[in-house]
Amino acid sequence: MISIRIRQLTKRFGAVAALQGVELEIGAGELFFLLGPSGCGKTTLLRCLAGFEVPEEGQVFFGEEDVTRLEPHKRSTGMVFQSYALWPHLSVAENVAFGLEERRVPREERRRRVHEALEAVRMAEHGSRRPNELSGGQQQRVALARALVVRPRCLLLDEPLSNLDAKLRLELRGEIRRVCKEGRLTSVYVTHDQKEALAVADRMAILEGGRVLQVGTPREVYRRPVEMAVAAFVGEADFIPGRVAGCEENRVQVETALGRMEGFWGDGRATAAVGAAVTVCVRPECWVLHREAPARNAVRGRIGEAIYLGDLAQYELIAGELRLKIVELNPRFLEDAARGDVYASVDPADVVVLNR
């Protein structure tokens, strides 16, 4: 296992800065996700770690070794691509063995390590098959085995599940986490799929415009986003504009068009004067619907669209000029949702206040 340190990394393509002063620390054995919309710089950052791109500024350290300008084949990384990139004329075992042949590993050791890698991804019985005889999920397992067999210092995964259907993605994301943890691998995983990142990551970095907006555990990033861009990208959220009415340490009172709301700063270091413009952020599942007005953090409105999905119902609450998204688990409110005014309330602990 090795740690990875990224110091002030900047990468430009012509006039476009794909990465701008990126700073990250990835712990040894950590499964770390790079998450963000298309064009945010996450794949460029992964390619800088692999050595396929050389930054104009900054440094990359594997442990204490500066690998910023080290050739890819000397970094001892394993790479898993979105497109599998398997040789069609070679068998599964031959595909996995390819990197060992390049490194001139003796035949008997090569055979043993190929078997171990295929065992790790539960593909040992398919060693004699060709890639075109496998499903997409099986091909991606082979690609993972090929990356593992060289015993990399770290594993780099570039949207490895994006070509698979939803059921296979669910199955394989658990398998990837299992393989990384059993192998005690430091792994960096690029995706734009928020649920994949929330389900699998130890920690994650949210990128936008080549910059890191927030780093934290899945729970920290989801429950306490520090910027609107983070809250909007990771899951759904209702945003209510307002102004600071009062502050006490991390607790904030906000005056909004829907009434006064109490919550907490998303960024624990944030401060704002009374009257400063802020945005209140509430996740749809945090709202609770009522017929009578609750004592605090209550919004009055009427139900617009209501969608029943079995285990949950989705509502649109029309409150003045705003339309709020509300999710009710094990829905019971649905039957009389269309009748008159309703109230939605939220616990202050679930209200995130963001500077504007």
pLDDT at 136: 85
pLDDT at 67: 96
Radius of gyration of the chain (CA): 24
Fold of 4-228: Rossmann fold (3.40.50)
| CATH code for the part of the protein at 237-355 | 2.40.50.100
pLDDT at 349: 95
pLDDT at 336: 65
pLDDT at 55: 96
Residues of the chain with CATH 3.40.50.300: 4-228
pTM of the model: 0.88
DSSP 34-61: EE-STTSSHHHHHHHHHTSS--SEEEEE
Parallel/antiparallel/unpaired status of strands 312-319 and 322-329 = antiparallel
Are 282 and 321 a contacting pair, CB within 8 Å? no
DSSP, collapsed to helix, strand or coil, labels residue 240 as: strand
pLDDT digits (tens, 9 = 90+) for 111-169: 999 998 898 888 888 988 999 898 888 888 888 888 888 889 999 999 888 878 788 78
Are 143 and 85 a contacting pair, CB within 8 Å? yes
Residues of the chain with CATH 2.40.50.100: 237-355
d(CA 337, CA 303) in angstroms, rounded, equals 6
DSSP, collapsed to helix, strand or coil, labels residue 100 as: helix
pLDDT lower than 50: segments of the chain: none
Where does residue 234 fall: left (phi above 0), alpha (psi -120 to 50 degrees), or beta otherwise?
beta
If we measure between CA atoms, which residue out of 174, 176, 148 comes closest to residue 77?
A: 148
Are 51 and 67 a contacting pair, CB within 8 Å? yes
